[in-house]
Amino acid sequence: MEYIPTEKQKKSFRDIALAHLNKILELSCDEFRGGYTQKVIKGNYVEEVYVPDNRKRISQAIEFLSYLLLPFYDKDMKEKAEPIEEKITENLKKFNDDEIDRDKFMINKLKLMKDLFRELNYLLYRKDYLKGEVYEDIREEE
């Protein structure tokens, strides 16, 4: 059965992109620190609560934005993204081979994801994605 959204549920590509960009901006306002466990006193007992790694959260948000925009990469974006993706893969390999520790891995990855985010913003500007009223309109323009 086909899903048919109501008028209230319909989201334009612009809405989706702006919501995701807004989330990335919110995440970028937090300190980029590693995850840790914090003890919280609740009444008569102490509970350990995991505080997420903000470096990982923003990296994942940027990665998802790149997935969202992937079908619309132009030649310039493909050329810019390829070396960044190669460096990300190389960084992961170094971590898996125990050449670098987790903190160094995350610091390197965060820098690479910031580079990718910068290029994604240039792509958005070049494509003028944010003018589209609905996702389908963008596809028809190409």
Domain boundaries, the chain: 13-141
Look up the pTM and report it.
Answer: 0.75
pLDDT reported for residue 133 = 46
The half-sphere exposure of 64 on its side-chain side, counting CA atoms within 13 A, is 13
Helix segments in the chain, DSSP class H: 13-28, 54-69, 75-96, 102-127, 135-141
The band of 93, judged by pLDDT with boundaries at 50, 70 and 90, is very high
The average pLDDT across 78-95 equals 96
To 10 degrees, what angle do helices 102-127 and 75-96 make? Answer: 170
